[in-house]
Structure 1
Amino acid sequence: MTPADKTDDDPHATLTLHGAADCGAAALRLLEGARRRVRILPQRVDLRYLTDDAVVAALRALLVGSRRARLEMLLPPELARDDLGRPLWDLARRLTSAVTVHRLADEDAQFGEAWLTVDQRGYLYRPQAERLSGQASLDQLPQTRELDQRFEALWLASAPDPDLRRLSL
């Protein structure tokens, strides 16, 4: 990670991300500071870092540690069937009261961006579906608010993902 605007220790800094290691480190920092809500709109390539043991453990710790914590995932249609995402899908199946998973509407299925937001203040954003490069910040309200508003608009047009609603007994 390289700071685009300020130093790496500044929570308001915009970090430039290149590759799975940078994206994973940024996601982990965001999730470790999360208190209430995490929203994820991933693409297949994001599963390389979102299913990392440390990232899944941070999500689990947040969701188990607080009754108010919520995870909302908005998935492209085929992503919920991808075995690469199994750690996330298992988490969604086990913590159904804290995790909600929707599938993008057909008209949004080819959506090419990906992002993660935390508590309406921090974000990780990738503008291109197949390239693991983008930006992140631990504390930038305007950018996070914009991504959350876009997420909400896509969420309203989406539907619960039937593949991830099934409980494995």
Structure 2
Amino acid sequence: MSTADYRVEAVDYAAAQDDLRRVREAVFVEEQGVPRDLERDALDPLCHHVIARNAEGLPIGTARLTPDHRIGRMAVLSAWRGRGVGEALLLALLAEARHRQWPAVSLHAQVGAEGFYARQGFLPEGERFFEAGIEHHGMRRVLGATATIAHRAEAVAITTAIIVQARRALAIYSRTLDPGLWDAPPVMEALRRFATHRTGVQVQILLQDAAAPQHALAPLIGLAQRLPSVFGFREVQDPVDLPYAAAFVANDDHGYYYRPLGHRFDGEAGLEHAGRARQLREEFTQMWERARPVSEYRALGL
């Protein structure tokens, strides 16, 4: 992968170890205080390494894929953060893992970077822990197969990833805008960025009970008030739709999260399942056409 500013490429460890270490030591040892003997390990020669270089060919970022299906040593020089380098490195490693037909990859995310990995479809696992004196959280990304969602933290992570992956459209079916999910800060921020950083986007939200989130002052309603051309709300009213117990979100790419019982977080999700996402959007469209516009939201400025 390359841009006008940098390129990402796979490298042989023996040939590129000086460049790899230059970046890693600048980030981990000098910036974060990780002991040098902990930063280096015996796995390095066995790993698949990628490196990001600027237009002059100087190293600005690194990452590796270990034989035990783990992503690690993700490091980007401070001057290059926020410019997509980390995402490009991560996508290169995910592409290599798919090429090897691995079912999943995992990593130890520094707590401050959890949001970055969640936006790429990684789900949190287990409890937080300390590694090299820095708090981490285990995370895992399923490749190809569907992921099982059981807890709120997983629900927030996968919903965020589905929003980030969307191109132009999101379809959301919810009972009452699910407190704990559709008001979670990472989800709200992803929706805000989706609605304000792209043109021609649309978020359709179909509710079973429109009054409940209004009475609860759901923050998503406030966001929609500021962006009425993007967000649309309807409420189911047809007898054929009223017994529908599930909830879901589906984008116009390959992502979906389906909960058989809409009042729970338990469900299944995927970011590489265009067929299932399309099926849910088609089901959503049928219910949307039978539903009533939420005029009481429009009275508030929508």
TM range (shorter): 0.7 to 0.9
Deviates more, 1:111-120 or 1:6-15: 6-15
| Corresponding residue number in structure 2 for 1:74 | 206
Moved over 6 A (4+): none
TM value normalised by structure 2: 0.50
| Corresponding residue number in structure 2 for 1:98 | 230
Are 1:137 and 2:273 an aligned pair?
A: no
Question: Which among 95, 103, 120 is matched to residue 6 of structure 1?
Answer: 103
Distance apart, 1:166 and its partner CA: 2.1
Separation in 2 of the partners of 1:31 and 1:145? 15
Separation in 1 of the partners of 2:220 and 2:283? 22
Structure 1 unmatched ranges of 5 or more: none
| Corresponding residue number in structure 2 for 1:148 | 281
Deviates more, 1:44-53 or 1:120-129: 44-53
Equivalent pair of 1:41/1:115 in contact (CA under 8 Å):
yes
Equivalent pair of 1:80/1:164 in contact (CA under 8 Å):
no
Q: CA RMSD in A?
A: 2.1
Are 1:87 and 2:219 an aligned pair?
A: yes
Instruction: Supply the AA of the counterpart residue of 2:248.
Output: W
Are 1:160 and 2:302 an aligned pair?
A: no
TM value normalised by structure 1: 0.87
Instruction: Supply the AA of the counterpart residue of 1:147.
Output: L
Identity rate of aligned residues, in percent?
A: 27
1:23-62 aligned within 5 A: 23-44=155-176, 46-62=178-194
Greater per-residue strand proportion? 2
The structure with the largest alpha-carbon Rg is: 2
Equivalent pair of 2:165/2:255 in contact (CA under 8 Å):
no
Distance apart, 1:28 and its partner CA: 0.9
Separation in 1 of the partners of 2:199 and 2:177? 30
Separation in 1 of the partners of 2:273 and 2:190? 21
1:87-126 aligned within 5 A: 87-107=219-239, 108-126=241-259
Equivalent pair of 1:92/1:101 in contact (CA under 8 Å):
no
Equivalent pair of 2:169/2:201 in contact (CA under 8 Å):
yes
Structure 2 unmatched ranges of 5 or more: 1-101, 105-139
Deviations 1:107-140 (A, max 9, x none): 2233210000111421000011232200111120
Distance apart, 1:46 and its partner CA: 2.8
Separation in 1 of the partners of 2:251 and 2:260? 18
Instruction: Supply the AA of the counterpart residue of 1:109.
Output: L
**RCO comparison, higher one (Cα < 8 Å, 6+):** 1
Distance apart, 1:82 and its partner CA: 4.3
Equivalent pair of 1:105/1:159 in contact (CA under 8 Å):
yes
Deviations 1:86-115 (A, max 9, x none): 111111211100111111124223321000
Separation in 2 of the partners of 1:22 and 1:82? 27
Separation in 1 of the partners of 2:167 and 2:177? 26
